[in-house]
Amino acid sequence: MTTQELDSEPRVRVGGGWISALVLANLGLFMAFLTPIQVLLAEQIDELSPSGKEVALGWATGVGALVAVVANPLAGALSDRTRGRFGRRRPWILGGAVLGAVGLVVTAAQTTVVGVTLGWCMAQLGLNAMLAGTNAVVPDQVPVRQRAAVSGFLGIPMTLGLVVGALLVTMVVTGISTGYLLLAVLTVVCALPFVLFMPDPQVPVSAREPMRLKDFWVSPRAYPDFGWAWLTRFLVMLGNALGTLFLLYFLKDAVHYADPDEGVLILTLLYTAGVVVTAVAGGVVSDRLGRRKALVAAGSAVMAVASLLLALWHTWPMAMGAAALLGLGFGMYIAVDQALITQVLPQAGDRAKDLGVINIANSAPQVLGPALAAPVVTYAGGYAGLYLSAAVVTALGGVLVWKIRSVP
């Protein structure tokens, strides 16, 4: 296979086995990503620093997200330039899974907030290398007219990972450290079927290009649609970060739910059910119509309404309704927006790097979210102000998607 053939748009549809293996790899990845943020890190830091848990959790997740901002595009660029019989994506998927697992084990052993933060940074480094590989195989091997449907399937483990992870660390095993260790093992195990059995086209050694610092800057003047897609994703994910980072504390301090850990699990189940309903269906509809922007805007609007409900009513029934509504919106949004993004990538040969740049729009909100959310909760309206801010930011992201011109 020549470099030109490899970097052209794929034409052969992928099968159910390929999709299933990639979904499984993503399930392990997002269990490792999300379960610590929503459950293990929150509980671990609550034990270490109960009086300043919000700020401490914000620092830990924020610094970890800053590592992700750098690690994902860097790993993507290196993946684009990886040569050998094992392919250019699989080494990073497997290596990232192993390093991420080691980071989780290190985090489990820490007894200070600083130690937890450093361990989580190591985990983020490995998991983002893995993410760079799993993201890039979609535009590498999935045709455009199948891409939203496949992205819909891949959107399910983004939320199901937290559900399965939360169930495992709260009901199957006991103790924070044991939870981290179980997630570490599953991250590697879930990656193996895709790494061992799915194809990854080789690239000739002669096709390797040097990596330059300036390659990580994608000019919005030269590629305006890429710029608008990045900004849309950033704003929607910032709204999501504002609304979810302090969910455990919201249930404990505002809703006064008797068992906040159980409450997070119930809300996550409702959210995941919403995602499952709309992710694949929204992707299939988008592929058949050949349209992306209207569905992205609709998903963002639904998410904004869910945040607005939480801003107005701090009750358990409303929290359940908002969680389901948020899932319905996010499922449609993430499936179709991910397909849209793959259609505005500047260079086929730099897919993993450019998707890594897009992933900054996923990770940067995790850095800014704590910096913005903590002062809002403390000084500017409490949780009502927080969820109102999330609604406004998310709605703005949905509006800006209409600025994209090259994708209908």
- Summarize pLDDT for 193-249 with one digit per residue, the tens: 999 999 998 776 655 567 777 778 889 999 999 999 999 999 999 998 888 877 888
Question: 188 with 98: CB under 8 angstroms?
Answer: yes
Indicate the pTM of the whole model. 0.88
Residue 239 domain-assigned?
yes
- At 110 the pLDDT is 96
Question: Of 320, 275, 279, 310, which Cα lies nearest the Cα of 162?
Answer: 275
Whether 210 maps to a domain, the answer reads: no
Whether residue 215 lies inside any domain: the answer is: no
Task: Answer yes or no: is 277 within a domain.
Answer: yes
Residue 266 lies in a domain: yes
The C-alpha atoms of residue 22 and residue 20 are separated, in whole angstroms, by: 5
Does 258 fall in a domain? yes
In a domain, 3, yes or no: no
Contact 25, 134 (CB under 8 A): yes
The domain total for the chain is 1
If you write DSSP's letter for every residue of 47-70 in order, what string do you get?
Answer: HH-GGGHHHHHHHHHHHHHHHHHH
Q: Is 181 a member of any domain?
A: yes
Bigger pLDDT: 245 vs 266: 266
> The domain containing residue 101 runs over which residues?
9-199+220-403
Instruction: For residue 303, give the CATH number of its domain.
Output: 1.20.1250.20
What digits encode the pLDDT tens for the residues 51-81?
888 789 888 988 998 899 899 999 999 999 9
